[in-house]
Amino acid sequence: MINLTIGGKTVQFNRIVGGFAWPSERPGFCIIVGEHVTRYAAGDIYRYMVLSEVEEQQMDKLIQDSIRIRMLYKAQGMYGRLKRRSEKQLPAMHFLDLWNGDAGRTGKIPFYLYEAPYTEERGLIQYHFNILRAMLNPEEKILYLGERSNLSSYMMEVQEDPNQMTDTNYPAVAALGYAVAQLENSRGGQMQERELEMMMDQMYGERGL
């Protein structure tokens, strides 16, 4: 359990993760989402809350800002799309490899990104958009974006067929969807040992930027 002070009140989160989308035609986006669980005899209810978000066109600045909010909110992992066609890495991942290699030499904090559930090689995000839309349904709302978030406007600007949406056209929606999909698809699961070791190194074992 992770306790955070929000609006002067202590809120307990079961897990906190980040979603990440690289800049392309539009600025990249990183978002932190917390999972709150209410226990009932009839079953548990899971709710999700956006804790922080950053938007940036420059890759290096986006990584720096993402590290900052990841550490601030104690995110347990950052999730995005890593590959394109034929299982090849996205070009941006080569930039990230260089960043992490430099971090190891200079003592800066590395940034590790893991594959989000149901990422598609062309960057299609219809699955992620559909689960977000269902969670934001006023009748059974379980996803809270926050009053100061820009995410409501990004969700409302979607005009095209969800089956044609990509992470490059809608990076904010993609980043949110990646984070929520990871939480939804890993309930009750354990973080992989390598992920846990990396997360601990990121948060406690390295010097700041």
pLDDT tens sequence across 104-119: 788 788 999 999 999 8
> For residue 81, what are the contacts with CB-CB under 8 A and spacing of at least 6?
21, 22, 90, 115, 116, 119, 120, 123, 167, 174, 178
Give residue 17's pLDDT band: very low, low, confident or very high (50, 70, 90): very high
Residue 26: other Cβ atoms inside 10 A: 16
Q: Is 151 helix (H, G, I), strand (E, B) or coil?
A: helix
In this predicted structure, the answer to whether residue 193 has a pLDDT above a threshold of 50 is no
List Cα–Cα distances, 8 to 5, 11, 42, 47, 69, in angstroms. Answer: 6, 9, 31, 20, 19
> For residue 2, what are the contacts with CB-CB under 8 A and spacing of at least 6?
12, 13, 14, 15, 16, 34, 74
pLDDT at 52: 94
Give residue 73's pLDDT band: very low, low, confident or very high (50, 70, 90): very high
pLDDT at 205: 46
In this predicted structure, the answer to whether residue 19 has a pLDDT above a threshold of 90 is yes
Q: Which residue has the higher pLDDT, 193 or 78?
A: 78
pLDDT at 144: 93
Closest CA to 127 of 87, 182, 89, 209: 182
Region 38-57: mean pLDDT is: 89
Give residue 51's pLDDT band: very low, low, confident or very high (50, 70, 90): very high
Find residue 20's DSSP bridge partners. 30
Main-chain dihedrals φ then ψ at residue 170, nearest 5 degrees = -135, 65
pLDDT at 164: 83
pTM: 0.84
Share of the chain above pLDDT 90, in %: 47
Q: Are 34 and 13 in contact (CB under 8 A)?
A: yes
5-9, 98-102, 137-141: least confidently modelled range: 5-9
pLDDT at 34: 95
* Residue extents of the structural domains in the chain: 2-205
21-25, 121-125, 196-200: least confidently modelled range: 196-200
Per the prediction, the chain carries an average pLDDT of 84
Q: Are 171 and 27 in contact (CB under 8 A)?
A: yes
Region 20-38: mean pLDDT is: 93
CATH of domain 2-205: 3.30.420.280
